[in-house]
Structure 1
């Protein structure tokens, strides 16, 4: 008696470039479906008409495809460096995924398989995930979130993206965090199934999990970024464990340049011919059809069936059993380290037992991390105080800073706009410690700066870059910062700050001469140094007042201050100073009065 088929709904919200979407759709058709009844629910959220046409053609040839237009045309910005999300995009996608959950529940599917449209899957992925008998499980994939950085998996252990194991309340040194982080990544290099705290993007969800309440609805009493985190927290609260499988890593086309890897990935995933039963013949024909479509040789009839490729049990020499999956028939699943070797066309190590190969891969991975640690530059932590910066320079500033920072500590001092969302969106993929004050402390700046300092110290910083939300370095800073951080003889760097009065000019007169002196912005944190603060309620300084006791140097890199560059911003600052320091007790009253000068002396800026 034939085993009853599992009914699976494959869902994907799609806002994708045509050339990446084509590879994704071809990947779906290569999925092996032994004892699987597979339907598709695709939501077309594309701006590019070519992508919408690809989906329409895909749906027109198959009765099992339910294609729905989102009716929206939101911009989604991405480039060959990174992708940029905002809250409205995140929760729009969450709504799409919830629609897919509801359809899977209403039509009584055994599983819902949610996949992002920039993934290329191994043909055995779906069969294997179902065979794990887990209620929520993702297949792993690895991504360089920024060019030149470490490959990281899309799964994590706790909080927003912490990829190390820790017990509740456990206090870890930075050294121990690094060790556990490397240990976690090394473990995921080995083929297996592992329990994790968070996952997404390539996830199989069982009917049992859906019935229990799995959902992408926002959990209102947490502020974590991204719908997958809310999904995972809810699942954990429902008592549903989360797992990642690492036998068949997917290929993530995060950048257009990743398309160069697709051909090798497909070649490496190609399964050697096996004996085929009548029950499996339909699926095998589908796989051949994809190959012909890719080669431009397939002929398709009006009902979508591929002509001229019938196979029967006789072709399999009378075999009576379905072809086993690669994991069952002895094919060796490859780790990410091996995959990278293959994609670079480097020689592979001689085949051996799975356990030996996994151990070698893990050992090589650990050695590579040790080399990275020896060569790595010190960690750079950006810290800021922000308030209602949504319509000002925050997005521009953070997009520049994220090129070279490793971590960020930001105090949101009573914002009532989308400032916090911009911080999470632009710094996605970078550890962010966002502290929100419900009531602003700016009327007593020393209290606010001490809070900022204490939050930074909690992160075990190495170098601290203290900037305001309207300050940005000149372009060459990104290329020179590494040499500053590696300077052993210096603990403090000072820079000149230029007050911009419009996009291309800075102000220079007897009241505006900040660029003629050097101020401290970049500090190496010394645990054995006793830091002291100025207690002035205004203009107390953003760093402790005694930092000049440390070895310090002057840098010729320049810092642009954009906060005066628009008339409306100058008026706002003038009114604030008149309110907080009308007599110039903590600042310079004549400078306050000069803010509204109609004809200031402006000097052109040149990079």
Structure 2
């Protein structure tokens, strides 16, 4: 959430007096120095403005950690507790090995942290594993949700070369699909429903789950009700988090997972290299979100390409061009207009317009390859209204939505747009700007025409309507209208992908047109 939204939740009332919310951040620590250093760095970077923070760290290393001591020296409100009875904990590049005795030792450490939070009258306890690199907004985001128990979701390849999975689940040991008691699913059905759950978590939001851990905010209400990590003696599930979750549910507490600010899990030392890119994105998101604009072009010479590119360079950080087999100097125009901005141009030897979805996917992947925060997709005859540059830059600084919708005006001349019958595009808001989320599974409408410029399932992401307008000049000249009419007749003769009546209306002799005004 934006800071002003979260900030509204950083105070509480007692007898009419506003008090600052107190949060205890706790972690049992037995960690390699290179990973622990990154965890502590992310703790330093947490946005805790307006909160009262205390730390309790259980040092379970055989030799006291100098890194924890250095952290305590910087944060006077830090308690370091010495661990007891060292037990071997083996972790390597393949996986982590947990013995039963080690599991319940860690459970005892976590319960000791819970006792500290209760004794110090904390409003919240944030329990976090020491191999995570946290997003700066994690604590404020979780507090702002006003849930008794909620975890921020992260993703891990638990085994090498396997797809990343979340640290939250639906039920039992690690079941990722819902099922009614007594119901049975085949392996194929289980896999399908598990993938649906995984895909859901990749959409930013808050979801009720059956199990969670490792990055969890617990309210004082939940602490006072008696949540605990101690073993439930007649429960065979492995892992202290399972016992915590079962006990919480038995106490009438619901469990939630948030997917807005996923931390980076440093499960292996080899993943420190990938962490560098994650950290780079955090810095870039805060200071200057990167906007990549993608254009699909073909034989644009003498049309609108120059002025479209000139305007784009006012707000884009990088431009990607997919040229679909131009036979004129379109590519040369692009190079000339983009000389002062980062850009990439890919040329198709022959046109692929007969299968539009293939082109749209190519342009999308080209934009993704630039490692953007946001992607805008335009055609070579589309341009935002002149005042758009500054508002667009402001839009992409807002982290409360992931898709921005705009109105598209079909220009029937340089100074007027069409409004009648099937020509009401400007009455509808459509996506032109999408935040790129690497964990989201993008799905395309697999058809050769009118497939959409973006993956079709972006509509599931949080969106915002903008009053900025887009001018579409593709219909502005009579010769272009004639060319498009015959193109649709050729590519879609029975209107399988479009509307036959709209195709026929392209050449209407007296369409209704309205004067374009720069300010509405």
Correspondence for 1:364 among 437, 441, 444: 441
Correspondence for 2:76 among 58, 63, 66: 63
Correspondence for 2:402 among 354, 358, 365: 354
**2:108: which partner in 1?**
95
SS in 1 for 2:130: coil
CA-CA distance at 1:72 after TM superposition: 2.9
**What is the alpha-carbon distance in structure 1 between the residues aligned to residue 55 and residue 440 of structure 2?**
41
What stretches of structure 1 move > 3 A for 4+ residues in a row? 271-274, 340-349, 355-367
Number of aligned residue pairs: give it.
300
Are 1:40 and 2:33 counterparts? no
Contact 1:125–1:139 (CA under 8 A) maintained in structure 2: yes
Are 1:7 and 2:22 counterparts? yes
Are 1:31 and 2:46 counterparts? yes
**2:308: which partner in 1?**
none
**2:182: which partner in 1?**
169
Unaligned runs of 5+ in 2: 1-7, 12-17, 289-364, 377-395, 404-430, 445-520
**1:190: which partner in 2?**
203
For residues 500-528 of structure 1, give each alpha carbon's deviation from its aligned partner in whole angstroms, at most 9, with x where no partner exists: xxxxxxxxxxxxxxxxxxxxxxxxxxxxx
**What is the alpha-carbon distance in structure 1 between the residues aligned to residue 135 and residue 436 of structure 2?**
23
CA-CA distance at 1:175 after TM superposition: 1.7
For residues 428-478 of structure 1, give each alpha carbon's deviation from its aligned partner in whole angstroms, at most 9, with x where no partner exists: xxxxxxxxxxxxxxxxxxxxxxxxxxxxxxxxxxxxxxxxxxxxxxxxxxx
**What is the alpha-carbon distance in structure 2 between the residues aligned to residue 199 and residue 260 of structure 1?**
27
**What is the alpha-carbon distance in structure 1 between the residues aligned to residue 30 and residue 438 of structure 2?**
36
**What is the alpha-carbon distance in structure 2 between the residues aligned to residue 105 and residue 91 of structure 1?**
21
Are 1:123 and 2:171 counterparts? no
Contact 1:182–1:366 (CA under 8 A) maintained in structure 2: no
**What is the alpha-carbon distance in structure 1 between the residues aligned to residue 177 and residue 370 of structure 2?**
31
For residues 289-328 of structure 1, give each alpha carbon's deviation from its aligned partner in whole angstroms, at most 9, with x where no partner exists: xxxxxxxxxxxxxxxxxxxxxxxxxxxxxxxxxxxxxxxx
SS in 2 for 1:10: strand
Alignment of 1:80-479 (within 5 A): 80-270=93-283, 272=286, 346=371, 350-351=375-376, 354=402, 357=434, 364=441
Structure 1 vs Structure 2 CA RMSD: 2.7
Q: Structure 1's 358 and 199: CA in aligned 2 closer, same or farther, altered over 3 A?
A: farther
Q: Structure 1's 188 and 58: CA in aligned 2 closer, same or farther, altered over 3 A?
A: same
Contact 2:202–2:441 (CA under 8 A) maintained in structure 1: no
Contact 2:203–2:440 (CA under 8 A) maintained in structure 1: no
**2:425: which partner in 1?**
none
**What is the alpha-carbon distance in structure 2 between the residues aligned to residue 246 and residue 203 of structure 1?**
12
**What is the alpha-carbon distance in structure 1 between the residues aligned to residue 236 and residue 132 of structure 2?**
28
SS in 2 for 1:272: helix
CA-CA distance at 1:364 after TM superposition: 3.5
**What is the alpha-carbon distance in structure 2 between the residues aligned to residue 70 and residue 147 of structure 1?**
31
For residues 183-234 of structure 1, give each alpha carbon's deviation from its aligned partner in whole angstroms, at most 9, with x where no partner exists: 0000000000000000000000000000111110111111100000000000
**What is the alpha-carbon distance in structure 2 between the residues aligned to residue 136 and residue 343 of structure 1?**
35
CA-CA distance at 1:53 after TM superposition: 1.1
Contact 1:137–1:245 (CA under 8 A) maintained in structure 2: yes
Unaligned runs of 5+ in 1: 275-339, 368-607
**What is the alpha-carbon distance in structure 2 between the residues aligned to residue 221 and residue 358 of structure 1?**
47
SS in 2 for 1:67: strand
Superposition TM-score, scaled by structure 1 size = 0.47
SS in 2 for 1:171: coil
CA-CA distance at 1:61 after TM superposition: 2.8
**What is the alpha-carbon distance in structure 2 between the residues aligned to residue 366 and residue 263 of structure 1?**
28
Contact 2:21–2:51 (CA under 8 A) maintained in structure 1: yes
